[in-house]
């Protein structure tokens, strides 16, 4: 079986990329491949915002990422510097900057760009969406 790292640079609803990344990750996990991690970068960090409100007649990508992570133990890593530029912050980062609001919570985790290098080095393939 192959091991994958997914790099998601697409925002959740402005392009097809984030949804395609989810569908690939789900299919790979169901086929018993290893997903070492999904790294959200640039506009892709918006996938980690818990403030998304999805209409009831649309696919809830945020909830789908959560379920994928829990069901298949897939780490969801959000680049801290790219995310903070887009208003996606953890409770700790918000508190440190005297901001009363935050939008990043488990199972998404705030990490540095070095985590992407670690994921890539431990995977057979890197796929960008």
Distance CA 2, CA 9 (A): 22
Secondary structure E strands in the chain: 3-8, 34-40, 76-79, 108-111, 125-128
CA distances from 95 to 6, 34, 100 (A): 30, 35, 7
**Which entry of 11, 35, 79, 82 is annotated as an active-site residue?**
79
Distance CA 116, CA 25 (A): 17
Tell me, yes or no, if 79 is annotated catalytic: yes
Beta strands 125-128 and 3-8 are: parallel
- Annotated catalytic sites, by residue? 79
């Amino acid at each position: 079986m192959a091991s994958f790292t997914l790099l998601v640079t697409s925002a959740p609803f402005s392009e097809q990329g984030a949804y395609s990344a989810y569908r690939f990750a789900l299919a790979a996990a169901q086929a018993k491949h290893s997903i070492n991690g999904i790294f959200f970068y640039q506009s892709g960090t918006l996938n980690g915002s818990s403030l998304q409100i999805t209409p009831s007649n649309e696919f809830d990508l945020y909830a789908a990422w959560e379920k994928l992570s829990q069901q298949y133990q897939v780490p969801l890593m959000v680049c801290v510097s790219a995310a903070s530029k887009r208003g996606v912050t953890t409770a700790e980062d918000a508190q440190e900057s005297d901001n009363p609001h935050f939008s990043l919570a488990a199972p998404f985790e705030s990490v540095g760009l070095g985590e992407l290098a670690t994921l890539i080095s431990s995977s057979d393939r890197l796929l960008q969406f």
